[in-house]
Structure 1
Amino acid sequence: AAVENPAARVEEAPRRRAMTAAERDAETDAHYRIISELTSDVVYAYDVAPDGRVTSKWQVGGIDGLAGQSGQSDAPLAWLTQIHPDDVPILESRDQRLRLGIPSTDEFRLLSADGRVRWLRVYSRPERGTSGEVVRVVGAAKEITQDKRWEEALADSESKLQATSRTARVGYWEHFPDDNRTVCSPVLWRIWGLRPGRAGPTGKVFLDMIHPDDRPRIAAAYEDPVPNCRHEYRVLRPDGSVRYVFEDLSADFDEHGRARRLFGVTQDITERKRAEQALRDSELRYHAIVEDQTELIRRCTPDGVRTFVNEAYCQYYGVPREQLIGRPVGSELSDSEAALRQAIIRRIGPKNPIEENLHRVIGHDGKVSWQQWTERAVFDDDGRMVEIQGVGRDVTATKEAEEMLAEAKDAAELASAAKSRFLAAASHDLRQPLQALAMFVNVLSERDLDDKAKQLINRISDCSDALERLLGSLLDISKLDAGLFVPQRRDFNLGAVLERLCSEIRPLAEEKGLRLNMVPCALLVDSDPGLLDRLLRNLLTNAVRHTETGKILVGCRRAGANVRVEIWDTGVGIPNDQLDMIFD
């Protein structure tokens, strides 16, 4: 019997019926809906009629809610009418691309009913019919408002970073050793003196720009980097100039410990370096000048602790510099003198920025000296006192000279007083020879002599009278200096004294062709008439003697409770350099 083959009994599988276009669309829509349920994006589809009209097919998601509408609007594509006015051209350009069958990805803003602005990113893909025309558009939309805010914050932060970098002359860079690639900021290009480009110079080019004296050190730092490595070096620009930079270097390492990325910030510190060098040069010049001074120069803190003394200071006190720096002002003196110095330092401040003092100093060895010190406060830009500078000089020799001069003056005054007392006591003896001479001349004038002899006797008599008046004045001054002459004050008519003097001296003036006039005066004054007579007589005689032509006028003026007698003449006058001496 024939054996039946089981495989021959395999039943023929039923054939699958071809799907219609409507069924295919429904299946595609179902697939899109499933996808939309698995994502946060909004998925939508709409049909495009031959005349360009659009009919919403379906939409899954809450875009309408973003626009301030319900999620299940009667017009699912109504959210497209909420496009921000400034973004309408984006939507129009998108529609044109879709009609041409070109997929489009766009970003634009929606204005919700409550005034809020939301950002959307929309992906649109056109589908063509059997004739090749676009019959449907399927797309997805996603809210990217938060992403946009992050982008704006990042851009703002980047802008501020760039501004800060430009202001502070700080550049940042990255270097990838594997492909020898460098990326750097525009500021770093300017620091290097290179024209900005998309990529930075290679590692070799960069190392070649480092000053030869700094190159080995920096190359070693890049070869074996450590986190947060900081160093300074010099850059040789293509134009030959040198810039000083400060660099903060870091690195990322792979699993084998090799640096896969070097990165850091570089700051141009040339101006700071120049300022530091200028300050060092200034300090050197200052110290050179100060050390050459013979004056004692000292600087201290506001609380009186020394921070600097010059060599002259150390030599003067015989104390090494290291024993003075950091010690209170006056530590090299006796306790009492040190306390005095500290009291002076405490008085220095904003209200008393400068003080000069002269005092006697007694050192530990008992040596006595005199010092003249000028203390001056130093303030910073905020007006705070940061230092006190003192300059002192030894004035012992000057003080000793002043004391000797004072002693000599006292001795001279004593001698002058003794001379005045002698002249006052001997006035009678000094006048006696003159009185005898006047008597002998008077006897001779009474004899019968010829005219020539009489003329000679008259001249002798005039000279004798003048000598007696001069001696009388000297003796009166001596009496005044010795305190032996007491003015005899009384009330008298000043006009009478002036008239008598003018009548006596007028003949002398007329002999020289001068006019002597007097303004009448009827005032009573309280004075010594004898002394006043002698004083005015000297002034009138002097006016006649030193006036060659013109006139002499005598008068008096009231000056409050006093009277001022004035004598005017047309003579040569008194030289200006002798006025103070005459009217002392």
Structure 2
Amino acid sequence: MKQGNIVNLGRAFAECAAFRARCQSLLAKLRDGYLLLEPIFGADHRVIDARYLETNPAFERTTGLRSADLLGKCLSEVLPNLEQRWLDLLDTVVRTEEPQTLESYNHNTGRFYESICFPFENGLIVGFLRDVTERKRMEEELQASELRYRTVVEDETETISRFLPDGTYTFVNEVYCRVFGKTAEELIGQKWWPVAFPDDLAEIQSKLDAMSPANPVAVIENRVILANGEVRWMQFVNRNFYDQNGKLLETQAVGRDVTERRNAEEATRHYARRLLEQEEDLRREIASELHDEIGRELAVLSMELTMLKAFPPERLRERYQLTLEGALDKVSTINQSLRGLMGKLRPPVLEDFGLVSAVRWYANMVAKRCGLALELALEEIPRPSHDKELALYRIFQEALHNVEKHARATRVAVSVARDRGTIVLSLSDNGAGFDRQAVSSRQQLSNWGLTIMQERARAIGARFDIQTAPGQGTLVLVELEEEV
């Protein structure tokens, strides 16, 4: 061999040694365990064992096995209880020349490991061993959490569904499927909507269209047609989820059957309407009795006292003159009070001249009695039907009564106007105001007046609203569409 070739060969061996040293250094620094195996084949050319050729420090730390006790030995010697699946894994690597992965649990260390084996040159096999215990525990915790969540969801009596912006379902719970007669397989990845009652569609769409990143929740109550054809009232709490740019990602809808509650509310409204009807009948009867009986007697008494005053016996003139005048004044006062009471019970001005005149009369009477500064803005309006006109007047009357009784106000403003085919009645004061939610939660008699006003408005198809806060006064607003 020529001297130049010897030098080149020496240089090549040196480079190989340096490369091997670098590889050994790299393997020594790896956090994953490394081993090099020589497969041993049986008569059928399948892998039946393997011999340890090389390991790194991380392998020793991971398995607790010392390299000095492994190198040159077979797997079966070191691990006499080796599972067949490990030999099958090595055989698959040799036959397919593709990497293979296997997860296992080591009872000696109490740890989970992921093993990845690669085919190497000269028929050898390289293996890497990674401790995945923490990952496995996190996965198990996640699976347990998902199981708990799914158990909670499936045990719910409420329907739960999630869907994409195009309506494609991503999740439905068992209750949802049971209520609407579908299976999860029929719905997930598909587009389908429960059959809503036709009369409710416009309101549903309006509330859904109003949802936005600033207003991501919409509570909608509507009727749905169940799988068995039954119509039920359901309340759906719809929540949209948006990304940071305001793009809609997904919607979750949680629904519950509120049919019983709606029926109870309707029964309560029916009861309230019946009470109002009976109240009006009673008012009419009492007003009639006052007018026909007591009013007539007072009129006769007033006439007799007037005649006695005009033609008294000479001997009684001086003695009873002042007494007669006082009696006449008292009769006049009683008569005025009686007229005011009859006006409250059944205002003749409402019957004869309509809502605007009745509002003006009653507002002036209360303002004068209570010393309130009164602002009136009353437009002439077409008279609605008797029932609607009476309901509007009673709402106004109750609102003004509340001002007189509770508000401690010094000013009240009353308005009757027309706005694009709608009669608008409003009453505002500068009084104490109140916390409406707190009043509603206490269920006191003071809340009955609010309930009656709401039910009167509901009975005639009017919109009722009250705006108030402690120290901010109160505004009562009623809007009624004009009759065509």
From 22, 25, 36, the counterpart of 1:174 = 36
Pairing 1:221–2:84 present: no
- 2:183 and 2:88 map into 1 onto residues whose CA distance is 44
- 1:346 and 1:204 map into 2 onto residues whose CA distance is 70
Pairing 1:534–2:396 present: no
- 1:407 and 1:558 map into 2 onto residues whose CA distance is 33
From 117, 131, 155, the counterpart of 1:249 = 117
- 2:86 and 2:211 map into 1 onto residues whose CA distance is 54
Amino acid at match of 1:242: G
TM-score by length of 2: 0.52
Match of 2:295 in 1: 431
Q: Assess, with a 3 A threshold, how the Cα gap between structure 1 residues 230 and 421 changes in structure 2: closer, same or farther.
A: same
Amino acid at match of 1:244: F
Greater C-alpha radius of gyration:
1
- 2:349 and 2:340 map into 1 onto residues whose CA distance is 14
Q: 2:162–2:251: 8 Å Cα contact kept in structure 1?
A: yes
Aligned partner of residue 371 in structure 1, secondary structure: strand
Match of 1:283 in 2: 146
Match of 2:61 in 1: 190
Amino acid at match of 1:394: D
Consecutive unaligned residues in structure 2, runs of 5 or more: 41-49, 316-326, 373-409, 414-428, 432-441, 451-473, 477-484
Offset from partner CA, 1:243-294 (integer Å, 9 cap, x none):
111112245697xxxx7x4421122222222222122212221222112211
- 2:101 and 2:411 map into 1 onto residues whose CA distance is 92
Amino acid at match of 2:56: S
1:474-493 equivalences under 5 Å are: 474-480=341-347, 483-484=350-351, 486=357
RMSD, aligned CA? 5.9
Offset from partner CA, 1:471-497 (integer Å, 9 cap, x none):
44422322459724847979xxxxxxx
Amino acid at match of 2:265: E
Q: Assess, with a 3 A threshold, how the Cα gap between structure 1 residues 207 and 369 changes in structure 2: closer, same or farther.
A: same
Q: 2:35–2:56: 8 Å Cα contact kept in structure 1?
A: yes
Q: 2:27–2:56: 8 Å Cα contact kept in structure 1?
A: no
Match of 1:207 in 2: 79
Q: Assess, with a 3 A threshold, how the Cα gap between structure 1 residues 489 and 406 changes in structure 2: closer, same or farther.
A: closer
Pairing 1:367–2:239 present: no
Amino acid at match of 1:188: F
Q: 2:181–2:226: 8 Å Cα contact kept in structure 1?
A: no
- 2:15 and 2:198 map into 1 onto residues whose CA distance is 78
Q: 2:197–2:225: 8 Å Cα contact kept in structure 1?
A: no
More helix by share: 2
Q: Assess, with a 3 A threshold, how the Cα gap between structure 1 residues 387 and 308 changes in structure 2: closer, same or farther.
A: same
- 1:414 and 1:390 map into 2 onto residues whose CA distance is 41
From 190, 195, 208, the counterpart of 1:333 = 195
Q: 2:117–2:126: 8 Å Cα contact kept in structure 1?
A: yes
Match of 1:269 in 2: 132
Consecutive unaligned residues in structure 1, runs of 5 or more: 1-33, 43-141, 449-459, 491-526, 538-555, 567-575
From 171, 177, 182, the counterpart of 1:314 = 177
Q: Assess, with a 3 A threshold, how the Cα gap between structure 1 residues 481 and 379 changes in structure 2: closer, same or farther.
A: farther
Q: 2:347–2:358: 8 Å Cα contact kept in structure 1?
A: no
Shift of 1:439: 8.6
Offset from partner CA, 1:326-373 (integer Å, 9 cap, x none):
43232x638979999999999988677444333332357653322221
From 390, 411, 415, the counterpart of 2:253 = 390
Between 224-233 and 292-301, the greater mean CA deviation after superposition? 224-233
TM-score by length of 1: 0.45
Q: Assess, with a 3 A threshold, how the Cα gap between structure 1 residues 251 and 322 changes in structure 2: closer, same or farther.
A: closer
Aligned partner of residue 281 in structure 1, secondary structure: helix
Q: Assess, with a 3 A threshold, how the Cα gap between structure 1 residues 335 and 324 changes in structure 2: closer, same or farther.
A: farther
Share of identical aligned residues, percent? 26
Q: Assess, with a 3 A threshold, how the Cα gap between structure 1 residues 378 and 232 changes in structure 2: closer, same or farther.
A: farther
Match of 2:386 in 1: none
Amino acid at match of 2:113: V
Aligned partner of residue 102 in structure 2, secondary structure: strand
